[in-house]
């Protein structure tokens, strides 16, 4: 934001609550940049996790958990289900929150949900070039370093296979 939304004066960086923030020298408006919220979907099958190869920057050509931004007014669980539909072409049941992930200097707060496919076979949808299941301890080249930690933490607590072969019964 470069101009004051109240009076149109160019904003200047001035210290406020301990850090420089865009401030209007005319009327005193202070712009507080909000974090962005994104959701990622952790779908496991036995010891494997479903990842997508990204078609866009950042991380184009590398693998990541299916993820996207939450719309204003959208419930996190609904956003997780929507991302699964858009990126994987499946309907999921959102099972539980795996965790919230944030880092100093990163504007994005990521909420990760474990989910189970209830209908459809995953196919690469919006923004993905391919999808695949990977062993948790043999992940491919990841777009985001934190995904490795998320998968480790998430998969170790989501040991229930989503679709175990049922040949024996």
Q: Which residues bind Zn ion (CB under 5 A)?
A: 4, 6-7, 9, 24, 26-27, 29
Q: Which is nearer to Zn ion, 7 or 118 (CB)?
A: 7
Q: How far is the CB of 20 from Zn ion (least distance, A)?
A: 17
| Rounded least distance, CB 32 to Zn ion, Å | 15
Instruction: For residue 45, give the nearest of 135, 125, 120, 119 by alpha carbon.
Output: 135
Q: Are 52 and 66 in contact (CB under 8 A)?
A: yes
Nearer to Zn ion, 6 or 75 (CB): 6
Q: CB 18 → Zn ion: shortest distance, Å?
A: 22
Give the number of other Cβ atoms within 10 Å of residue 52's Cβ. Answer: 24
Nearer to Zn ion, 26 or 148 (CB): 26
d(CA 54, CA 124): 10
Judged by CB, which is closer to Zn ion: 3, or 69? 3
Chain centroid, CA 133 distance in Å: 18
């Amino acid at each position: 934001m470069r101009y004051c939304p109240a009076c149109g004066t160019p904003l200047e960086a001035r210290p406020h609550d301990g850090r420089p923030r865009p401030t209007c020298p005319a009327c005193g408006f202070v712009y507080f940049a909000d974090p962005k919220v994104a959701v990622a979907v952790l779908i496991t099958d036995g010891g494997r996790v479903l990842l997508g190869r990204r078609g866009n920057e950042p991380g184009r050509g590398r693998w990541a958990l299916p993820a996207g931004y939450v719309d204003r007014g959208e419930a996190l669980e609904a956003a997780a289900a929507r991302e699964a539909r858009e990126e994987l072409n499946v309907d999921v049941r959102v099972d539980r929150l795996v965790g919230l992930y944030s880092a100093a200097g990163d504007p994005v707060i990521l909420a990760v949900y474990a989910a189970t496919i209830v209908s459809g076979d995953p196919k690469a949808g919006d923004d993905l070039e391919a999808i695949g299941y990977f062993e948790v301890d043999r992940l491919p080249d990841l777009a985001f370093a934190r995904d490795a930690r998320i998968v480790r933490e998430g998969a170790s607590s989501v040991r229930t296979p989503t679709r175990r072969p049922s040949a024996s019964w």
